[in-house]
Amino acid sequence: MTAEHDPAPRTLPQAPGGGAEFPPGFLWGVATSAYQIEGAADRDGRGASIWDTFAHTPGKVAHGHTGDTAADHYNRSEQDVALMSELGIGAYRFSVAWPRIQPDGRGPADPRGLDFYRRLVDSLHEHGIEPALTLYHWDLPQALEDAGGWRSRDTAYRFAEYAHLVSEALGDRVRIWGTLNEPWCAAFLGYASGIHAPGVTDPAGSLVAAHHLLLGHGLAVPAIRAAAPAAEVGITLNFYPVQADSESAADRDAAHRIDLLQNRLFLDPVVRGAYPDDIREHLDRVSGTAYLRPGDEKVIGAPVDFLGVNYYSSYRVAGGGEPSGPSPWPGAEDVRFVDRGLPRTDIGWEIDADGLRRQLLRIAREHPGLTMYITENGAAFDDVPDADGRVRDDARTAYIESHLRAVHEAVAAGAEVGGYFLWSLLDNFEWAEGYGMRFGIVRVDFDTQVRTPKQSALWYGDVALRNRLPG
Ligand code: FCB
């Protein structure tokens, strides 16, 4: 391993009035994902995904909500793109629904599915908005789950085939390609705690799923490059800085294991082309490593052009807890998450804006030269329209502003960050929470599908247009 150095600080342009100016060309984006906004679950030959099955299983999603209609974006994409443009948004991160392209997860692409995304991308370009495409935001075709899902090695090969089909069709018009969104969630919420689709509780199997997700990523990278040589290809991971509650050996060990599972299990093999020894030992202890074949790590380490960083919060942890029920931490079920008394968003996540600065600088230190995009950051607040119809979501604006200041500080300290994608453009289907948790900067009335930009959207659009935060 090479010695780690702090990145070299850089001088950013001075903003008039003392605001925080971002580097020229910084992308100001918003993010969404297919199942959370599209709806039109049966349209144009779309197959079922694990999220259709899961959401339709009683008791899995709050209030029995499903993504059947969601924000009806499939029928309103033109209008949603026009709205982004009016707001001043410069880039849009969306995901492709695998079951629209391959309803059963294998075989030729359905042209209707490809056409929908081609139209979306063309309309983004017409409005001067840069598309950033994610191939997998958790909607695995149900037929592939029936054949073993991510616990089956074959799914990694199916994913690479799907990646090739999409990049062949859209490679001429999309520059930024993300393979997976948050494989931590897909593996551990999907196959360990079971609170996400497919709802499995198999801790050892969740580590197998994690490896196959990584393998799928590594196989997809060259498949995308073959079809789209100019593509910038990367992966999006969700990071949480982890702090031990005390200097005790038990607390430090707890912090090490949570950091290993959350922040290093996916990043290290992607960037280093090998699982470090401590990760391999953890895998060996919890799942064995029979599924890890010679050559896999090299495949996983296919060079990437960027790392997508999703950031919402940070953790303080302690050892010596009692495992209770299914946990998304295979081999760390005993770890306790300590309440620091920080303010929380409505979904219950503690707010730690400085954690984003620390996280970006850690990545810059450990993986010098790696370009990052913040591919998600945002907050759930249950804001409601005033009598005059305006949504004064000051708490969300404050959250975004404090996190953008953290990004700016990290960039000034030398982290290479090419852009920021706010989660989310629209209120949407927040997975196991259903529509109860609103992350949008645009309010969606789910009865009428009327969109109302919140105050945060107007504020953010202004920042995007000026490329700087107010002084
Ligand atoms: C992330 C997901 C995204 C959204 C936000 C709030 O984990 O990638 O789809 O649900 O959380």
Distance (Å, rounded) from C-alpha 113 to C-alpha 102?
8
Give 22-43 pLDDT, tens digit per residue: 999 999 999 999 999 999 999 9
Question: Could you tell me if residue 213 is inside a domain?
Answer: yes
Give 108-150 pLDDT, tens digit per residue: 999 999 999 999 999 999 999 999 999 999 999 999 999 999 9
Question: Could you tell me if residue 5 is inside a domain?
Answer: no
Q: Provide the 10 A C-beta neighbour count for residue 229.
A: 8
For the Cβ of 375 lying below 6 angstroms from any atom of ligand 1, the answer is no
Give 4-17 pLDDT, tens digit per residue: 789 999 888 877 77
Mutational pocket test of ligand 1: of 310, 345, 351, the residue with most ligand atoms within 8 Å of the beta carbon: 310
CA of 1 to the centre of ligand 1 (A): 32
Rama region for 225: left / alpha / beta (φ>0; ψ in -120 to 50; rest):
alpha
Task: Please name the residue whose Cα sits nearest to atom 10 of ligand 1.
Answer: 430
pLDDT given for residue 14 in this prediction: 77
Q: The domain containing residue 274 runs over which residues?
A: 16-466
Q: Could you tell me how far CA 126 lies from the centroid of its own chain?
A: 26
Nearest to 162 by CA among 180, 175, 146, 174: 180
For the Cβ of 33 lying below 6 angstroms from any atom of ligand 1, the answer is yes
User: Contact at 8 Å (CB) between 364 and 411?
Assistant: no
Mutational pocket test of ligand 1: of 180, 430, 441, the residue with most ligand atoms within 8 Å of the beta carbon: 430
Q: Which atom of ligand 1 is nearest the CA belonging to 347?
A: 6
Distance (Å, rounded) from C-alpha 466 to C-alpha 247?
45
pLDDT given for residue 3 in this prediction: 59
Q: Which atom of ligand 1 is nearest the CA belonging to 431?
A: 10
- Whether the per-residue pLDDT at 2 is higher than 50: the answer is no
β-pairing, 232-239 with 306-311? Answer: parallel
430 Cβ partners below 8 Å, 6+ apart? 36, 347, 380, 436, 437, 438, 439
Q: Which atom of ligand 1 is nearest the CA belonging to 185?
A: 7
CA of 154 to the centre of ligand 1 (A): 26
For the Cβ of 376 lying below 6 angstroms from any atom of ligand 1, the answer is yes
If you average pLDDT over residues 264-276, what whole number do you get?
98
Angle at 231 between CA 94 and CA 129, to 5 degrees: 45
Given the residues 21, 350, 376, 409, the one annotated as active site: 376
Question: Could you tell me if residue 6 is inside a domain?
Answer: no
State whether residue 416 is helix, strand or coil.
Answer: coil
For the Cβ of 21 lying below 6 angstroms from any atom of ligand 1, the answer is no
- Whether the per-residue pLDDT at 422 is higher than 60: the answer is yes
- Residue 178 pairs in a beta bridge with 134, 234
pLDDT given for residue 231 in this prediction: 98
CA of 156 to the centre of ligand 1 (A): 22
CA of 241 to the centre of ligand 1 (A): 17
* Residue 182: active-site member: yes
Distance (Å, rounded) from C-alpha 184 to C-alpha 437?
21
For the Cβ of 421 lying below 6 angstroms from any atom of ligand 1, the answer is no
pTM for the model: 0.98
Distance (Å, rounded) from C-alpha 106 to C-alpha 112?
16
Question: Could you tell me if residue 9 is inside a domain?
Answer: no
CA of 461 to the centre of ligand 1 (A): 21
For the Cβ of 238 lying below 6 angstroms from any atom of ligand 1, the answer is yes
Structural domain count of the chain = 1
Distance (Å, rounded) from C-alpha 347 to C-alpha 350?
9
CATH number at residue 377: 3.20.20.80
pLDDT given for residue 340 in this prediction: 98
Question: Could you tell me if residue 471 is inside a domain?
Answer: no
Query: DSSP state, 243?
Result: E
- Whether the per-residue pLDDT at 165 is higher than 90: the answer is yes
Task: Please name the residue whose Cα sits nearest to atom 2 of ligand 1.
Answer: 182
If you average pLDDT over residues 243-256, what whole number do you get?
98
CA of 278 to the centre of ligand 1 (A): 28
Q: Which atom of ligand 1 is nearest the CA belonging to 378?
A: 6
Question: Could you tell me if residue 2 is inside a domain?
Answer: no
Question: Could you tell me if residue 413 is inside a domain?
Answer: yes
Give 79-101 pLDDT, tens digit per residue: 999 999 999 999 999 999 999 99
Nearest to 298 by CA among 219, 412, 193: 219
Given the residues 38, 130, 145, 182, the one annotated as active site: 182
Q: Could you tell me how far CA 419 lies from the centroid of its own chain?
A: 14
If you average pLDDT over residues 374-386, what whole number do you get?
97
* Residue 376: active-site member: yes
Q: Write out the two tokens for 105.
A: 């997860």
Question: Could you tell me if residue 4 is inside a domain?
Answer: no
